[in-house]
């Protein structure tokens, strides 16, 4: 069954505008595997004639010519080199998927493409679309200043996971609470969302028992595409998934010296598996940086699948082994949902100010889930996010806690205007609360996403 195309409206609009232009376009689309790059470009050309080629590890010239000949038969008489074939396909839409495979096979291919563009294609209506799953190679070889293609691209899209709100398109009957549970597993990654069936926990239980389930081998597949020796990378990701986010904690868990572990962490950041964050009030070079897994599926896999592979192989690991700690696991997941929710409100002008910065803050044993700042008006909002049901007493306690911790945030203390915000799974007696609290306090709950869908 073919799944309907969901979301990606902004990217689709950009692509259709570029594909419909009367000039040459070099369009670069890249992002990690499973993110939906191929589906996006094929959706954008579904009513047009195009040549689509999926590059492999070798023999790409011959394979490309063979594929193109199914659309343009006469190309079989053209010399088998990139320049000649691209010249022959001028004024057409040419899509090359997994372009890094061609670069790896032929180091000089970027210069050949540059020559083809400069000599001939730039004066035509050709639409050349290059896709890649190797983020590091696309950024270093195709998009960087040193690349022969630098300055030739007319559009580039780095495709990431879809927004949390998009999950409603996949599961329109699901409650917001169930959507957060699903998001904690599949993030906004179409490949995983299309495989999930409701009820979610019944589907998870079935997948855990299936000997051919993608759950068992998915991360091996993804990591072997990027790294030669995955064992150390796996240990690092397992450490972070288990809550060891400080460099020293990760180093001790993996058993490597500081100088030895840094290349691994840099590679994980470059390939999009890990992100390094610093307190919002500090610069990127801060020594208090922490490391987090970028997407929920990777974090889920290293939290629940990787440590239990033996039990899964024996068929004795069930969803109960996940559910027992899943509420705690969803804490950081709900923080991501809250971050997206607040930024959406900010764009709509529904917050007291438009933030210029948003991030986490921590100092010693003090931590604030989210902090929003406007560096012009010097307004700041301190946010507590709780994946739990909150009553009036809970809210008052959390606001007092935020007020106490905010005193440690060194940022224009004598001039700033402060706001406080609590976001819970559910909030009891919210109307009563809003009457009791001041104008500088905001209270939200998960169901407020309904308003975002309607607006």
Q: What is the pLDDT of residues 388-413, one digit of tens each?
A: 999 999 999 999 999 999 999 999 99
- Average pLDDT, integer, range 80-105: 97
pTM, two decimals, is 0.94
**Class of CATH domain 165-331:** mainly alpha
- Average pLDDT, integer, range 257-272: 93
Residue 1: pLDDT band with limits 50, 70, 90: very low
Res 3 pLDDT > 60: no
Q: Which residue has the higher pLDDT, 139 or 453?
A: 139
Q: Where are the domains of the chain?
A: 9-158, 165-331, 348-454
Instruction: Please state the φ and ψ torsions of residue 90, each to the nearest 5 degrees.
Output: -60, 150
- Average pLDDT, integer, range 304-308: 97
Say if residue 22 is exposed, middle or buried (CB neighbours under 10 Å; 0-12, 13-18, 19+).
Answer: exposed
Check residue 121 and give its pLDDT. 98
16-35 pLDDT per residue, tens: 999 999 999 999 999 999 99
- Average pLDDT, integer, range 164-171: 96
331-351 pLDDT per residue, tens: 999 999 999 999 999 999 999
- Average pLDDT, integer, range 305-327: 95
- Average pLDDT, integer, range 428-444: 91
Cα 117 to Cα 93: distance, rounded to the nearest angstrom: 14
Instruction: Please state the φ and ψ torsions of residue 4, each to the nearest 5 degrees.
Output: -70, 150
Res 248 pLDDT > 80: yes
32-74 pLDDT per residue, tens: 999 999 999 999 999 999 999 999 999 999 999 999 999 999 9
Residue 454: pLDDT band with limits 50, 70, 90: confident
Residue 4: pLDDT band with limits 50, 70, 90: low
Region class of 34: left (phi > 0), else alpha (psi between -120 and 50), else beta = left
**184 in Cβ contact with 333 (< 8 Å):** yes
- Choose the CATH number for 9-158 among 2.60.40.2890, 3.30.420.40, 3.40.50.2000, 3.40.50.300: 3.40.50.300
CATH number for region 348-454:
3.40.1350
Any idea what the Cα angle at residue 264 is, between residues 259 and 265, rounded to 5°?
90
Check residue 2 and give its pLDDT. 45
Res 213 pLDDT > 90: yes
pLDDT, mean over the chain: 95
């Amino acid at each position: 069954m073919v799944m309907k195309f969901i979301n990606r409206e902004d990217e689709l609009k950009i692509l259709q505008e570029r594909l419909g232009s009367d000039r040459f376009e070099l369009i670069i689309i890249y992002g990690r595997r499973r993110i939906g790059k191929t589906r996006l470009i094929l959706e954008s050309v579904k009513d047009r004639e195009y040549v689509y080629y999926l590059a492999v590890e070798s023999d790409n010239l011959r394979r490309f010519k063979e594929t193109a000949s199914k659309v343009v038969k006469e190309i079989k008489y053209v010399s088998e080199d990139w320049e000649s074939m691209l010249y022959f396909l001028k004024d057409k839409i040419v899509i090359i998927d997994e372009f890094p495979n061609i670069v790896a096979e032929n180091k000089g291919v970027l210069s050949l493409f540059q020559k083809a563009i400069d000599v001939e294609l730039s004066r035509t209506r050709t639409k050349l679309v290059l896709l890649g799953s190797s983020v590091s190679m696309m950024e270093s070889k195709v998009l960087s200043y040193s690349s022969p293609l630098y300055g030739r691209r007319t559009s580039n899209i780095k495709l990431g996971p879809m927004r949390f709100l998009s999950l409603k398109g996949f599961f329109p009957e699901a409650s917001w609470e169930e959507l957060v549970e699903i998001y904690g597993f599949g993030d906004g990654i179409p490949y995983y969302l299309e495989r999930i069936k409701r009820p979610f926990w019944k589907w998870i239980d079935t997948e855990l028992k299936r000997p051919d389930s993608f759950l068992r081998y998915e991360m091996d597949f993804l990591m072997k595409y990027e790294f030669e020796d995955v064992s150390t990378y796996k240990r690092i990701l397992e450490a972070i998934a288990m809550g060891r986010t400080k460099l020293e904690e990760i180093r001790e868990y993996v058993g490597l010296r500081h100088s030895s572990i840094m290349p691994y962490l840099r590679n994980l950041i470059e390939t999009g598996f890990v992100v390094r964050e610093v307190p919002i009030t500090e610069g990127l070079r801060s020594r208090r940086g922490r490391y987090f897994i970028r997407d929920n599926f990777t974090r889920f896999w290293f939290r629940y699948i990787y440590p239990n592979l033996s039990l899964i192989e024996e068929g004795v690991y069930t969803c109960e082994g996940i559910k027992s700690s899943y509420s705690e696991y969803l804490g950081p997941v709900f923080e991501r949902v809250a971050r997206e929710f607040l930024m959406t409100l900010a764009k709509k002008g529904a917050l007291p100010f438009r933030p210029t910065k948003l991030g986490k803050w921590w100092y010693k044993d003090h931590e604030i889930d989210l902090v929003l700042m406007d560096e012009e008006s010097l307004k700041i909002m301190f946010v507590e996010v709780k994946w739990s049901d909150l009553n009036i007493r809970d809210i008052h306690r959390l606001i007092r806690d935020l007020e106490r911790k905010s005193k440690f945030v060194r940022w224009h203390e004598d001039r700033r205007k402060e706001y406080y915000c609590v976001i819970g799974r559910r909030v009891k007696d919210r109307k009563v609360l809003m009457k009791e609290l001041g104008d500088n306090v905001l209270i939200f709950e998960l169901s407020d996403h309904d308003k975002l869908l309607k607006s």
